[in-house]
Amino acid sequence: MSLSFEHVTLGQRVRFGSGQAAGHLSAEAERLNAHNVMVIAGEREMFIAEQVAASVEVAVWHSDVVMHVPIETAENARQVALENDVDLLVSVGGGSTTGLAKAIALTTGIPIVAVPTTYAGSEATDVWGLTEAKRKTTGVDAKVLPTTVIYDSELTLSLPVEMSVASGLNGMAHCIDSLWAPKADPINAALAGEGIRALSQGLPKIVADSQSIDGRDEALYGAYLSAVAFASAGSGLHHKICHVLGGTFNLPHAQTHATVLPYVLAFNAPHAPEAEQRAATAFGTDTALEGLQQLRAQVDAPQRLSDYGFTAENIPQAVEIVLEKIPANNPREVTEDNLTQLLTAALNGDDPATLN
């Protein structure tokens, strides 16, 4: 087999270990010679952040975290960082928290140490996102890639099972989208395959026992692999759809990804047989959709966009915006008609296997 591709591996330190976050953060702050640390955590995660940063001198505790990072929230946080001469950003939380740290780093260049408490994966990418006037804009910039990621499964134990499932399926979406994204290549496909395997084994363990360190370790490991694959491969059809649903209609990030994923998989899979087979092999099933749907049934995954406020009346506007963003190399041609069909099925929770 003749191979020809270009792959970029992002440079980042990963420190992984249950119960070790505080020690790892202290060591990283010392290594980076940080004196004015800004800890970013939403109000619900602030108690976790205080434990993680217990051995670090913190100049600013910042809790103004908003989903999809509105530009006003970002500008306020940037001002706080500059006023306090911050030299290290520490984000403790999910994708919104990491996203806010990235928004600050984008204009200031301040390094980030990310401490995830979900399976969002944003911590391992150089992708940023900001929402202004109900439009979410994303971009890629080396300044926003966290210098270090600290993974500690104990920090995810308070994440409710339902949210763990949605967040983990968001990671799964990174994996599957990476198989046909604009810069898909054999290396990120291999990472994505292992990510699918790890997430598909870890999430059911969390559902069976919410305090399972083994399950949460596997899910964090899978989420990291999914994000590394995504950072290399770029944003495919699934993410283009979900960014519009989140930014324009303010749908919750993880639940939206978890709901839309089987429909994009069913839509693209027949037109990308090699990618489909790789995913199926990772699931250990005959087809990728079969594997994903078995997992979704095991973990009681989100089913309908209508459960999160999306309506049939929203579909034409969503279709119009998404069509402007479709990657040129998507395996299947995307039209107004078939995209409308996909979103209608996701709205109602129809069987994705019926998509044609």
Q: Which two tokens stand for residue 63?
A: 């809790």
For residues 63 and 177, state if they share a domain: no
For residues 168 and 145, state if they share a domain: no
Q: Which of 137, 156, 175 is the last residue of a domain?
A: 156
**Would you state the pLDDT for residue 29?**
98
> Region 59-85: what's the mean pLDDT?
96
**Would you state the pLDDT for residue 226?**
95
**Would you state the pLDDT for residue 133?**
86
**Would you state the pLDDT for residue 1?**
60
CA 160 to chain centroid, in Å, comes to 17
Tens digit of pLDDT for each residue in 292-337? 999 999 999 999 999 999 999 999 999 999 999 999 999 999 999 9
**Would you state the pLDDT for residue 136?**
84
For residues 140 and 243, state if they share a domain: no
> Region 215-227: what's the mean pLDDT?
96
For residues 314 and 189, state if they share a domain: yes
Across the chain, what does the average pLDDT equal?
Answer: 96
Sign of the dihedral defined by the CA atoms of residues 168, 172, 175, 181, in that order? negative
Q: Which of 127, 156, 185 is the last residue of a domain?
A: 156
> Region 265-277: what's the mean pLDDT?
97
For residues 308 and 186, state if they share a domain: yes
In a domain, 8, yes or no: no
**Would you state the pLDDT for residue 9?**
86
Q: Residue 290: which pLDDT band, with cuts at 50, 70 and 90?
A: very high
Give yes or no for residue 291 having a pLDDT over 90: yes
In a domain, 142, yes or no: yes
Q: Residue 111: which pLDDT band, with cuts at 50, 70 and 90?
A: very high
Cα-Cα-Cα-Cα torsion 169, 172, 173, 178, nearest 10 degrees, comes to 170
In a domain, 94, yes or no: yes
> Region 254-281: what's the mean pLDDT?
97
CATH at 129: 3.40.50.1970
Sign of the dihedral defined by the CA atoms of residues 206, 178, 251, 346, in that order? negative
Angle at CA of residue 25, ends 86 and 146, nearest 5°: 60
In a domain, 82, yes or no: yes
Tens digit of pLDDT for each residue in 200-209? 999 999 999 9
Give the domain range for residue 20. 13-156
In a domain, 3, yes or no: no
**Would you state the pLDDT for residue 256?**
97
CATH at 221: 1.20.1090.10
**Would you state the pLDDT for residue 2?**
79
Q: Residue 217: which pLDDT band, with cuts at 50, 70 and 90?
A: very high
Measure CA of the first residue to CA of the last residue in the chain; give whole Å.
32
Question: What Cα–Cα distance (Å) separates residue 34 from each residue in 107, 151, 161?
Answer: 19, 20, 35
Question: What Cα–Cα distance (Å) separates residue 126 from each residue in 101, 142, 234, 298?
Answer: 12, 6, 10, 32
Beta bridge partners of 168: none
Spatial neighbors of 102 by CB under 8 A, at least 6 apart, are 69, 112, 122, 128, 129, 144
Give yes or no for residue 12 having a pLDDT over 80: yes
**Would you state the pLDDT for residue 317?**
97
Q: Which two tokens stand for residue 212?
A: 């399972």
For residues 98 and 242, state if they share a domain: no
Q: Which of 111, 132, 156 is the last residue of a domain?
A: 156
